Amino acid sequence: MSGFFYRLKPEDFRLRSKFGEIDNANVVDWPISYSDMEPYYTKAETEVGISGHAVEHKFSEPRSTKDFPYPPTAEHPIVKKIDQACNELNFRSLQTPRAVLPYADKGRRGCEYSGFCGSYGCSSGAKGSSRAALLNRAVVTGRCEIRPHAKVFHLETNQAGRVSAAHYFDKEDNKQKVTAGLFVVACHAIDTSRLLLLSTGPKHPEGLGNQHGQVGKNLVFSAGSTGSGDFVYSKLNKQDADLMKTRGPFVNRGLQDWYFIEDGRFDGKAKGGTIDFLLRHPNAISRASAQKWDDNDKLVWGKVLQDKLKLAMTETQTLRFEVFCDWLPTDDCFVSLDPKVKDKWGTPV
């Protein structure tokens, strides 16, 4: 994933109403709607710097702006073949919205198309991480201080039950404290839950915000799958083979034809998801590592491995696809504090 920046659909905020109850899953409607969130999507797209082109399709979400703030990044020649195949199959090919600047703006350089976007930090600052897109600009104002190597272990609450201080370990493992009138906890689902559960107080005996026992419950991630196909240069004409060797530009293509499914082979309506296309990662080590198995999941050695490496590294281009769909919330997927195991600072993991 290289800065994918898709919006939810209005129906995603009311999945229980649309699809009904699901056995052993805790699917509920959100207490807010897409229309409540839409202005914030628009603001985030502007502040972070989202590139792409909003294409109308049968499941496209309403927008208050016609398009994304920035045009799409440069595209790999393979997109022409994807678009052609989609047209022949009557699928709607979509340009992928990305948190990647196509040109210099907001004090950041534009994308340099190194090919190492996914799984790596961005050397140019074009990719819209919170550091590149938000924190750097905040620091420049002189009103924002970043304290690196700080491990927050407890949120202190006052007599009213509101957070009044954050306690943390600094780089030298000394305990420190910072007070404020407003705190934002953004430590991913797992560590956010852990910190809230650790932050007990007179008004929060079971953990901060846990008066209903739901902190850490119904943990969800992104479910999905992946697949790939190889373009063998020797089986292509020279022009196509040369185009396939292009490195750097994105495969800005995805599909949402099956975002919601109404098919007689399913028991009623079903929630699908999003398919995105991408080329194999240029990291030589990961590409080589993927060649060490044969079709029967046996390790290969010697000339067999050598031939596989040559084919993968010099004679083919691999087009991959990733499928992203919902992870159902259940009672069996949760975060809790371990009663025995502690981290190096002595707090429960």
Distance in angstroms (rounded) separating the CA atoms of residues 202 and 189: 24
pLDDT over 60 (residue 195): yes
Rounded to the nearest integer, the mean pLDDT of the chain is: 94
The confidence score (pLDDT) of residue 301 equals 95
Domains held by the chain: number: 2
* 317 shares its domain with 336: no
* 232 shares its domain with 288: yes
pLDDT band at 206 (very low <50, low <70, confident <90, very high): very high
Residue 255 lies in a domain: yes
* 235 shares its domain with 309: yes
Residue 294 lies in a domain: yes
Residue 277: how many other CB atoms lie within 10 Å:
20
pLDDT band at 2 (very low <50, low <70, confident <90, very high): confident
pLDDT in tens, 290-311: 899 998 999 999 999 999 999 9
The confidence score (pLDDT) of residue 263 equals 82
Residue 93 lies in a domain: no
* 206 shares its domain with 247: no
pLDDT in tens, 229-251: 999 999 999 999 999 999 899 99
Residue 59 lies in a domain: no
The confidence score (pLDDT) of residue 1 equals 57
* 168 shares its domain with 183: yes
* 183 shares its domain with 262: no
Which structural domain range is residue 254 located in? Answer: 223-325
* 233 shares its domain with 267: yes
Residue 8 lies in a domain: no
* 233 shares its domain with 299: yes
pLDDT band at 265 (very low <50, low <70, confident <90, very high): confident
Partners of 167 in the beta sheet?
A: 154, 177
Residue 340 lies in a domain: yes
Residues of the chain with pLDDT > 90, as a percent, come to 87
Tokens of 151: 């491990």
Pairwise pLDDT comparison (265 vs 107), residue with the higher score: 107
Residues of the chain with pLDDT > 70, as a percent, come to 100
Strands 273-279 and 254-255: antiparallel
Average pLDDT over residues 316-344: 95
pLDDT over 80 (residue 266): no
* 255 shares its domain with 273: yes
The confidence score (pLDDT) of residue 121 equals 82
* 186 shares its domain with 246: no
Residue 68 lies in a domain: no
Half-sphere exposure of 170 (CA within 13 A, CB side): 8
Q: Which residues contact 159 (CB under 8 A, 6 or more apart)?
A: 202, 203
* 182 shares its domain with 249: no
The beta strands (E) that lie in the chain are given as 151-157, 163-169, 175-179, 223-232, 254-255, 260-262, 269-271, 273-279, 316-325
Residue 116 lies in a domain: no
Residue identified by tokens 């534009």 is: 110
Q: What sign for the dihedral angle of Cα 19, 22, 27, 28?
A: positive
pLDDT over 90 (residue 118): no
* 292 shares its domain with 160: no
pLDDT band at 277 (very low <50, low <70, confident <90, very high): very high
Which amino acid, 310? K
With b for 16 or more beta-carbon neighbours within 10 A and e for fewer, the 291-326 pattern comes to: beeeeeeeeeeeeebeebbeebeeebbbbebbbbbb
CB 98 within 8 A of CB 278: no
pLDDT in tens, 19-41: 999 999 999 999 999 999 999 99
